[in-house]
Amino acid sequence: MLSIFFKRILLAIPVLIAVASVTFFLVRLAPGGPFDAEKAVSEQVMKNLNEVYNLNAPLSEQYFDYMSGVLVGDFGPSFRFPGRSVTELIMTGLPVTFELAIYSMLIALFIGILSGVTAALKRNTFLDYIPMSIAMIGICVPTFLLGPLLVLIFGINLELLPVSGWDQLPGDKILPSLTLGFAYAAYIARLSRGGMLEILNQDFIRTARAKGLTERMVVTKHAMQGGLIPVVSFLGPAVAGLLAGSFVVETIFQIPGLGRFYVEAAFNRDYTMILGTTIFFSFMIVMFNLFSDILALWLNPRSRDI
Amino acid sequence: MSNSSSLWSDALSRLLKNKAAVSGAVILFILITLAILAPFIAPYPYAYQDLDLGASPPSSLHWLGTDVLGRDLLSRILYGARISLLVGFIATTVALIIGVSWGIIAGYFGGKIDSVMMRIVDVLYGLPFIIFIILLMVIFGRNLWLLFLAIGAIEWLTMARIVRAQVLTLKNQEFVLAAQAMGVSNFAMFKRHLLPNILGPIAVYATLTIPQVMLLESFLSFLGLGIQPPMSSWGTLIKDGVESMEEYSWLLIYPGLTFTITLFSLNFFGDGLRDALDPKTSE
């Protein structure tokens, strides 16, 4: 168990270094310098700009400078927001995105597990068909369509909830969290239904029932622990998906989070910002995958004594 | 050969019994036909503007209404279908080529080659590829072919795993050993002996990859990083629809509906195909 844990961590380190390096050279490969889009400036100004941002140094020196900065969490200055560092911008956006992700994930887990487990227990009844049909909708309707539709219905037509913003009006966090969480609720419902169906057929469940446990005990104490392992394994990849979703949701609802910063940086060709956030995102996702793998291993008794 | 043809005809008869899959296939067939015929049947050219008209709700002249520039929405959805479906098919083909070759090589040679190749797949699985696509689009410009390649290049991972698992079960069977004994070259082995036997799972997964690819493309187009004007995909139409949905809700609803129905059809058809080709997995 511990050795698997350390192996995974050891594997994650070269992966992260490779990601950071590839991203660094890709961004340097980009045609044109970072200041080309600006109004025509004199040669001297251009020279000074390059000097300030250390762009005249040999590429290998820039690379080692940058990588040693990344090690201590310094992603360099932003090209588009003079005087602000990329780390500073990431730290401004991160708490907002984090909060949004937490709410969405809670919604997804609550709705997903509840309907998935119910569907498995009441197999081939309406309590199975209806949630599973809704889950199919959740998988087929993309976030960028669901969000605007929710805004149209609850924000504009019914005037129940604010249409945009974050932490400004009461209730303005509801629609973004629902939009982001819905697709995951759908996936989690399908996964937990499948996992539960498999577990409920096994001998130890029959034993638990035979010894007279209440149905509630059988489900919560015995079946759910094993039946929900697929959901736990899904959490790592889900975080990667939440991130991509946050690009869309933060753009639709004008939320000042990391996802929106990233999309804006992509538009403005703010290369250092793109580079920094890419490395940061990769780091987070690799860490979450590691975490969810380990959690799934630990929950599965068969792999516990490896 | 009679054995394999009965497998396919069995699968076909199972598929035809699945109502959801059949209706999905019918809708897809109609959509693809409409998309191919778009230049002949679209009521207006897709860039034709009637600026005096502006945004107008659905009417007898413009069945689905017009956008803010007075462009006919029905025509734009039909032309958008060409781009969206094209991205779906081409990017899936790219993913197929990479994934199938990768999986066959890893599975057939086994040993060190296999473990290195599959470890690479495991590592790539854990990376946030969507971010790299955005990065590529920013650095190398928003080029349609680059988009196909980039999307295809990230969707091959699951295909590689599926193909490898299939090859592992095949490679110790007698016909493979017989072919080896006859001195068949590696390439002929892949092409003549292995590939035909794993076409089923490949077809199923390819059908299920197309909607994912289309989602990815429309996601990028929605953010303004995919298809660029004057071309339009369903993603860009939805993006335009969102911008003016407060006054002109039909601009969001019709493209959104078309897109969702297409994704539904592809998923139902793919699920049906899987159940038909592999009755074990259907409960």
Query: Of A48-57, B215-224, B245-254, which gets the smallest average pLDDT?
Result: A48-57
Query: What pLDDT, on a 0 to 100 scale, did the predictor assign at position A80?
Result: 73
Query: What pLDDT, on a 0 to 100 scale, did the predictor assign at position B26?
Result: 94
CA distance B128 to chain A (A): 6
Please name the residue of chain B whose CA is at the shortest distance from the CA of residue A292.
B126
Beta carbons of A139 and B215 less than 8 angstroms apart: no
> Mean pLDDT for chain A?
83
Taken in order B202, B204, B207, B212, is the CA torsion positive or negative? negative
pLDDT (tens digit per residue) in A180-196: 999 899 989 989 998 88
For residue B280, pLDDT beyond 60: no
Q: Per-residue confidence at B283, pLDDT binned at 50, 70, 90?
A: very low
* pTM, rounded to two decimals: 0.82
Q: Taking CB atoms and an 8 Å cutoff, what residues of chain A touch B115?
A: none
Q: Could you say which of A136, A139, A144 has the minimum Cβ distance to residue B238?
A: A144
How much is the average pLDDT of B135-159?
81
The residues near A17 (Cβ < 8 Å, ≥ 6 apart) are A67
How much is the average pLDDT of B126-151?
79
How much is the average pLDDT of A83-105?
89
The residues near B169 (Cβ < 8 Å, ≥ 6 apart) are none
Query: What pLDDT, on a 0 to 100 scale, did the predictor assign at position B1?
Result: 44
Give the CA angle between residues A36, A40, A44 to the nearest 5°: 90
Interface test with B, best of A13, A22, A36, A140 (most B CBs within 10 A): A140
Does residue B136 belong to the interface with chain A, where contact is any CB pair within 8 Å? yes
Could you tell me what percent of chain B has a pLDDT over 90?
13
Q: How many CB pairs under 8 A join A and B?
A: 108
For residue A109, pLDDT beyond 90: yes
Beta carbons of B170 and B200 less than 8 angstroms apart: no
Q: According to the 3-state scheme, what is the secondary structure of chain A?
A: CHHHHHHHHHHHHHHHHHHHHHHHHHHHHCCCCCCCCCCCCCHHHHHHHHHHCCCCCCHHHHHHHHHHHHHCCCCCECCCCCCCEHHHHHHHHHHHHHHHHHHHHHHHHHHHHHHHHHHHHCCCCHHHHHHHHHHHHHHHCCHHHHHHHHHHHHHHHCCCCCCCCCCCCCCCCHHHHHHHHHHHHHHHHHHHHHHHHHHHCCHHHHHHHHCCCCHHHHHHHHHHHHHCHHHHHHHHHHHHHHHHHHHHHHHHCCCCCHHHHHHHHHHHCCHHHHHHHHHHHHHHHHHHHHHHHHHHHHHCHHHCCC
Q: Taking CB atoms and an 8 Å cutoff, what residues of chain B touch A186?
A: none
How much is the average pLDDT of A71-81?
79
CA distance B6 to chain A (A): 31
Q: Could you say which of B219, B263, B283 has the minimum Cβ distance to residue A144?
A: B219
CA distance A148 to chain B (A): 6
For residue A36, pLDDT beyond 80: no
Q: Per-residue confidence at A199, pLDDT binned at 50, 70, 90?
A: confident
CA distance B238 to chain A (A): 7
The C-alpha atoms of residue B120 and residue A157 are separated, in whole angstroms, by: 50
Specify the DSSP class assigned to residue B127: S
Q: Could you say which of A267, A274, A282 has the minimum Cβ distance to residue B127?
A: A282
For residue B143, pLDDT beyond 70: yes
For residue A47, pLDDT beyond 80: no
pLDDT (tens digit per residue) in A52-73: 666 777 778 888 888 888 888 8
pLDDT (tens digit per residue) in A218-256: 888 888 888 888 888 788 778 777 887 888 899 889 899
Cβ separation of A19 and B127 shorter than 8 Å?
yes
Query: What pLDDT, on a 0 to 100 scale, did the predictor assign at position B3?
Result: 53
CA distance A285 to chain B (A): 7
Cβ separation of A15 and B127 shorter than 8 Å?
yes
Interface test with A, best of B121, B129, B132, B135 (most A CBs within 10 A): B135
